[in-house]
Structure 1
Amino acid sequence: MSPIRVVWGSASAPTAMASYDAALARAGIENYNLVSVSSVIPADVDVEAVGTAPDLGPAGERLTVVESRATTAGPGRVSAALAWSQAADDGPGLFYEVAGETGREDVERRVREGLSAGQELRDWAFTDPHVAVESSQAESGSYTTALVAAVYGKSEPIL
């Protein structure tokens, strides 16, 4: 089974959508149609924090993701965080995401709290959590997006 790769990026541009597209490019997933799913990790799947995605297939295909992202008009700080933990013995797991116009420490604290709350809802023995955070300062006159995404496997044809 293909791994789930955690990727991240941030970028500034003259419009909100352009900054989002540029942040996707920094993460290596700009050429796909992203389909968001909730936050359950299937059993027997490895999760790898890689930063930038490798080639995941032809441009224009569908890519399944759990995404944390925030965009702000400068000046200001924007941050995104994704936390995950899997059940012991290759069981299922959870992703939790938090993003906002705030600092790195705030989103990391909040995403850990969310993951802990999600773990309490399930009768699974979880491993230690992992967290990926992306944060960037937005300059006046531009938009800045920070994102962290968990990419499920490779792309698939959309048609």
Structure 2
Amino acid sequence: MRTIRVVWGSASAPTAMASYDAALAEAGVENYNLVSVSSVIPAETTVEAVGTAPDLGPAGERLTVVEARATTAGPGRASAALAWAQSVDDGPGLFYEAAGEADREGVERRVREGLAAGQGLRDWEFTDPRVAVESRQAEAGAYTTALVLAVYGESEPII
């Protein structure tokens, strides 16, 4: 069975890109080229919330991800959430993402609402939804990024 790992991280730094890179490092995926996809979980796939990714292959390779990400200049708060539900009997499933300057509860509420709307568009019987939320307060003078990623499998050569 194939595996999708849900990872998360947050960090502050002097630039927006540096805070994003540091948040990726906290999630364990800073050395890969990320390729974003929309939201469908393939059938016969296990989704595991792991926090920090294990070694997924050589640096510089491609990782396929669904990404929830918020970056803000302090003061403020960056929050990101990823929700998912799979259909019963190892069928396909969905990821939904939400992000912004809301608190944890606000971004979680929005991602649950989005997932429920997506489930309503499909004629699948779903398991109970799961949610991962990352949120961090941004200090004045710094950029802060919060992210949650669903990482599909392991890395693949990009060239």
TM-score band by shorter chain is over 0.9
Corresponding position of 1:23: 23
Q: Deviations over 1:116-146 (max 9, x none)?
A: 0000000000000000000000000100000
Contact preservation (8 Å) 1:39, 1:94: yes
Taking the TM superposition and a 5 Å limit, the aligned residue runs for 1:1-159 are 1-159=1-159
Give the Cα–Cα distance (whole angstroms) in 2 for the partners of residues 158 and 3 of structure 1: 20
Name the TM-score, length of structure 2 as normaliser.
0.99
Contact preservation (8 Å) 2:2, 2:44: no
SS of 1:59's partner is: coil
Pairwise CA RMSD: 0.4
What is the identity, as a one-letter code, of the residue corresponding to 1:100? G
What is the identity, as a one-letter code, of the residue corresponding to 1:23? A
Contact preservation (8 Å) 1:75, 1:137: yes
Contact preservation (8 Å) 2:9, 2:26: yes
The ranges of structure 1 where at least 4 consecutive aligned residues each deviate by more than 4 angstroms after the TM superposition are none
SS of 1:102's partner is: coil
What is the identity, as a one-letter code, of the residue corresponding to 2:56? L
Give the Cα–Cα distance (whole angstroms) in 2 for the partners of residues 2 and 73 of structure 1: 38
Deviation at 1:102, TM superposition (A): 1.1
SS of 1:26's partner is: helix
Deviation at 1:97, TM superposition (A): 0.1
For these two proteins, the number of residue pairs brought into alignment is 159
SS of 2:155's partner is: strand
Q: Deviations over 1:95-114 (max 9, x none)?
A: 00000011000000000000
Runs of 5+ unmatched residues, structure 2 = none
Deviation at 1:2, TM superposition (A): 3.0
Give the Cα–Cα distance (whole angstroms) in 1 for the partners of residues 2 and 58 of structure 2: 17
Contact preservation (8 Å) 1:42, 1:93: yes
Give the Cα–Cα distance (whole angstroms) in 2 for the partners of residues 156 and 123 of structure 1: 33
What is the identity, as a one-letter code, of the residue corresponding to 1:88? V
